[in-house]
Each structure stands twice: as structure tokens, then as C-alpha cells.
């Protein structure tokens, strides 16, 4: 129970990595608000699991890409929980498109959700935390794409690169108020969204030679870092990003597979 009696909001917290984070935070003692924008069923299913732990949980619909929605989400979460100690900016979108096929609409949707949404949710949460005088923690769910580029997701790469710098910038701005800001950067994780390409045998074979640990990660393997950054175990850590990728981006020249 590293986070006993803490109050947390997880954007995009109903499925994928967000679901695992929501469940883990509840197990660690948090009351949780789960945000979703489209899939209410998944959010409600996650909330049902959390209720088994005996901790309060609420489901709130809001599109973090819209500033008005982001503000309403933070105010609603604060009201329902009676405060906020932790914000996890997890909501994100990605679209596979060649650089010359990216439309303005797709570009805006990606940047507005992944970067602008994280900033304004952080801004409104920080204002609440500063007013309370109790400090707090913000954890951004970034990606290895924020450090190394990948083809056909230029807009996603740009949004996550921006999120990495947003993490550092907010960390120095909010440090005087006792608010720590860090990021968790997953690599190839087996989520519902990722299965569109992870189920391709050729893709799996290719990356089996590129991930030193020899496998893809699970959403649950991303949650320990979030708990660490949210807890007092990391009380002197801010502005940092922890990569969870099985060693993928550490290996510049992967060995070829053997027969």
C-alpha cells in the first residue's frame, strides 16, 4: 500500500496501459477517477474491478483534446475525490500514416490529445494542488517514440517528443510548490491497440531480434514505475523519464538471429 489514501486521476484509464495503471493504483491504496472519451463499457468494467478492492472509484467522460473538457474533468475529479494527489496523463491516440498522407485534421487530433491535453490537464491539476498546499505528483505516459523516431507515425513521434520536454519543463516550473513531474516511456507493449501490428508474424519475428529481452511487454509491467514516481520512494526525483522497453532502444545494432 505505497499510496494509501491518495487520490488519483488516470486519463484514458479504462483500457490498455491505462486500465492496468488504474487497477494497480487502487491496489496500492488510491481512490481513482477513470477518464474515458469513447469506450464507456471498458471504463465501467475497470471500475467494477476496482470496487472489489473497496476503494472509491468514479468514471468520467471527457475529451482531453478539448481544453474545456480537460478543465471540467479536473474539477469533477477533484470534487468527487475531495482532492487530487496524483494525475496520470495516459490518454493518447496514434494513426499509422506516411508523412505525406498526414492531414491537418489527423495532425491536430494527435497533438491536441497527446500533448495539449497533457499540458492542460497538468495545468488545471497543478492549480488545485498549489491551492491545497500539499504538493503532489504528475506522471506522463510517454513512449520510446519520444526518444527515437519510427516510420509512418511522424505526428505521434512529435507528440511524444514534446511530452518528454513538457515533463522536464513542468518539473522545474512546479518544483517550488512540491509538485513532482516525471514520465514513463513504454516500448512495444501488448495492448488492444498494438495488436493490429503485433499479431503480424513477420513483425513479431523482426522484433524478436531487436528486443534484448526477446519479447513484448505487458501493460502490467508499466505500472510499477507509475507507483514509484507517485510514491515517497521517489521524493527527490523530478523531471525524469523511465524507459520500459526490454532494452529495445539501448541496442543500436541488434545481433542477427541464429538458425
- Host H or E run for residue 25: helix 16-27
Instruction: Return the HEC string of 227-247.
Output: HHHHCHHHCCCCCCEEEECCC
**Active-site entry in 156, 177, 207, 236:** 156
Give the C-alpha separation, 41 to 26, whole Å: 19
177 catalytic per annotation: no
Alpha helix positions (H), 133-222: 154-174, 195-198, 201-208
Name residue 186's beta-bridge partners: 244
Cβ–Cβ < 8 Å for 34, 11: no
Give the C-alpha separation, 226 to 94, whole Å: 22
Active-site residue list: 156
Amino acid at each position: 500500500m505505497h499510496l494509501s489514501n491518495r487520490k488519483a486521476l488516470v486519463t484514458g484509464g479504462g483500457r490498455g496501459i491505462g486500465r492496468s495503471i488504474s487497477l494497480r493504483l487502487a491496489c496500492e491504496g488510491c481512490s481513482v477517477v477513470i477518464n474515458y472519451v469513447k469506450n464507456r463499457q471498458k471504463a465501467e468494467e475497470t471500475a467494477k474491478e476496482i470496487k472489489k478492492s473497496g476503494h472509491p472509484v468514479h468514471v468520467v467522460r471527457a475529451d482531453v483534446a478539448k481544453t474545456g473538457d480537460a478543465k471540467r474533468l479536473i474539477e469533477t475529479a477533484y470534487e468527487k475525490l475531495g482532492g487530487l494527489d496524483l494525475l496520470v496523463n495516459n490518454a493518447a491516440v496514434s494513426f499509422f500514416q506516411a508523412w505525406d498522407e498526414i492531414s491537418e485534421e489527423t495532425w491536430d487530433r494527435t497533438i491536441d490529445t497527446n500533448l495539449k491535453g497533457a499540458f492542460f490537464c497538468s495545468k488545471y491539476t497543478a492549480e488545485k494542488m498549489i491551492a491545497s498546499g500539499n504538493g503532489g505528483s504528475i506522471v506522463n505516459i510517454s513512449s520510446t517514440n519520444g526518444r527515437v523516431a519510427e516510420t509512418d507515425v511522424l505526428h505521434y513521434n512529435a507528440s511524444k517528443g514534446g511530452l518528454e520536454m513538457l515533463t522536464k519543463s513542468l518539473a522545474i516550473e512546479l518544483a517550488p510548490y512540491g509538485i513532482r513531474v516525471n514520465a514513463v516511456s513504454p516500448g512495444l507493449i501488448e495492448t488492444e491497440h498494438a495488436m493490429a501490428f503485433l499479431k503480424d508474424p513477420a513483425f513479431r519475428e523482426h522484433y524478436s531480434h531487436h528486443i534484448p529481452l526477446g519479447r513484448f511487454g505487458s501493460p502490467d509491467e508499466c505500472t510499477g514505475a507509475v507507483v514509484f514516481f507517485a510514491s515517497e520512494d521517489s521524493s527527490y526525483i523530478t523531471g525524469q523519464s523511465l524507459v520500459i522497453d526490454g532494452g529495445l532502444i539501448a541496442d543500436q545494432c541488434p545481433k542477427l538471429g541464429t538458425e
